[in-house]
Structure 1
Amino acid sequence: MTVTGPPSRAAAVVERASAALGRLRRGRLLHPSGRSFAGEVLIWGTPGPPTGVDLLDDPGRYRAAVRLSKGTPTPGGWPDVLGLALRLHRDSGRPFDLLVSSSGAAPVLRNLPLPRRAFTGTYSTIVGYRVARRRLWLAALPDPDSVDLGRSLSTVAAATRTDTPRLVLAVASAVGPWRPVGQVSIGTQLSAEEDAALAFDPVGNLPPGLRAAGPLAWLREQTYRGSRRARGATAQSGGSTATTV
């Protein structure tokens, strides 16, 4: 899937610049510091009016890979823009890559990346989606009955060794309330090699009916493509070893 945006020459410039920066970092350009885990996504179905995306509207259970990360990254438990990347493996076709960042839950804050210390909190899609003519945002919300993830990547990993942390998957319009549609369970930590192999495509790896919207989506598409190019990865790299929890 390609987002409509500036001419291809501009896309090539952004991709090459992202690839060059990625090579300088010798790894991920965005959210380089993180931990990956095997996971499972349980979709309950959309309460109220359907979204028009079958993957969200119809109940189902999917194996997944989950990556929690720091954006800058800052040391230890210092505030940072935290990230949660989810690769949901579908029975056929491309996986669904959902990337969400630490944000506020209120409508005015759900599309703004907000630094925070704790990994337990609201993560939302800073870049919105379109379903036909409607705008849609997705989020991973804290589950009040789940174990706390703490303030560092080490505490996140420790939580998965003693329990199965959970987050609530939710959808909303630009100004409407969050509507829970499912649950993300975080299981066994993957190896450093498996974490390094994971490469997400938040614009191309989407389920039918859902498309990324706006100029930020275009910029994200080129940036992630350049980052994958620098690492010698593809939009499907990694995540295949994830098992259900």
Structure 2
Amino acid sequence: MTHPTTLFGRLFAGAFGVVKAFRPHRPIHTQGILLSGTLELTGAASGIPFLDGDASLPVTARLSRSCGFPVAWPDVIGLAVRFRADDADADLLLASTGWRVPGRFALLMHRTAGVARLTSLMPYRGARGAVLLGARTVGTDPGAPRRFRPDAEWDLELFWATPLGPWNRCGSLRLTPVLDAGGRVQDTPLRFDPLLNQLPTAQTYGWTRRLREHSYRLARQ
């Protein structure tokens, strides 16, 4: 018998395929910018060893708008972050959601990145149970793709939480745009994949993988 999450995953992939027919390169998160910076982990008690240690890692990131609506409209904000750990790439994908329960399980639209609360939406599997990751801007709102200032410095605080529990600070992220030869903010063809490039020591639940694997496989084509 097919698992229900596999069926839902196939339905999502079907809808994704329709969009891909019109946007073959990037069906979603079409508008984005390339960023670089540093991930600082200050220690936590999440049950994920990598997250619970101290580390300072260089990162490459992409800030994007999911649906590709006109820039003046709100859109789902996405932040993909890549770093090297254990000689392999690790990708963390965050999207704009609510911050409290139950809103942290629903996508929300915003005009700029600074007002958005970004979460992993789906939990990771830690030694003590399910763990959500989240980030929020501290300081100046950097804008959004197509409105991101070339001189912007985007500072975020990082958090972890159980699905129904409070957020606990565990680090920070500082990002700046990567400029082209003309000093302009640029996008990147780089693709991020949390299923192929998993976070170190963070396991995935079978149901979260089944929900996403069909769409991600289609996106790689």
Name the TM tier (shorter chain): 0.7 to 0.9
The answer (yes or no) to whether the contact 1:127–1:217 under 8 Å persists in 2 is no
* Cα shift at 1:53: 1.8
More strand by share: 2
* Cα shift at 1:221: 2.1
* Cα shift at 1:19: 6.2
Say if 1:113 and 1:200 are closer, same or farther in 2 by CA, change over 3 A. same
Aligned residue type for 2:93: L
- Aligned residue for 2:171, secondary structure, equals strand
1:63 aligns with 2:58: yes
Residue of 133, 139, 144 corresponding to 1:138: 133
Distance 2:129 2:47 in 1: 10
1:195 aligns with 2:184: no
Q: Which residue of 2 aligns with 1:241?
A: none
Structure 2 length-normalised TM? 0.83
Q: Which residue of 1 aligns with 2:27?
A: 29
Residue of 207, 210, 213 corresponding to 2:202: 210
Aligned residue type for 1:153: P
Residue of 205, 211, 217 corresponding to 1:225: 217
Say if 1:214 and 1:163 are closer, same or farther in 2 by CA, change over 3 A. same
Structure 1 length-normalised TM? 0.76
Q: Which residue of 2 aligns with 1:97?
A: 91
* Cα shift at 1:111: 1.4
1:178 aligns with 2:178: no
CA RMSD of aligned residues (A): 2.8
Q: How many residues align?
A: 213
1:168 aligns with 2:163: no
* Cα shift at 1:54: 2.2
Say if 1:182 and 1:225 are closer, same or farther in 2 by CA, change over 3 A. same
**CA displacement, residues 117-141 of structure 1 (integer Å, 9 cap, x when unaligned):** 2211210111222114611100111
Flag structure 2 segments of 5+ consecutive residues without an equivalent: none
Flag structure 1 segments of 5+ consecutive residues without an equivalent: 230-245
**CA displacement, residues 11-70 of structure 1 (integer Å, 9 cap, x when unaligned):** 899769856753541311221211111121111111xxx222222111111111111111
Distance 1:163 1:17 in 2: 36
Distance 2:98 2:50 in 1: 25
* Cα shift at 1:183: 1.0
Distance 1:21 1:63 in 2: 34
Say if 1:139 and 1:12 are closer, same or farther in 2 by CA, change over 3 A. closer
Say if 1:175 and 1:18 are closer, same or farther in 2 by CA, change over 3 A. closer
User: Could you tell me the percent identity over the aligned residues?
Assistant: 28
- Bigger shift: residues 182-191 or 30-39: 182-191
**CA displacement, residues 170-216 of structure 1 (integer Å, 9 cap, x when unaligned):** 100112111111111112326598711x1111223223431233634
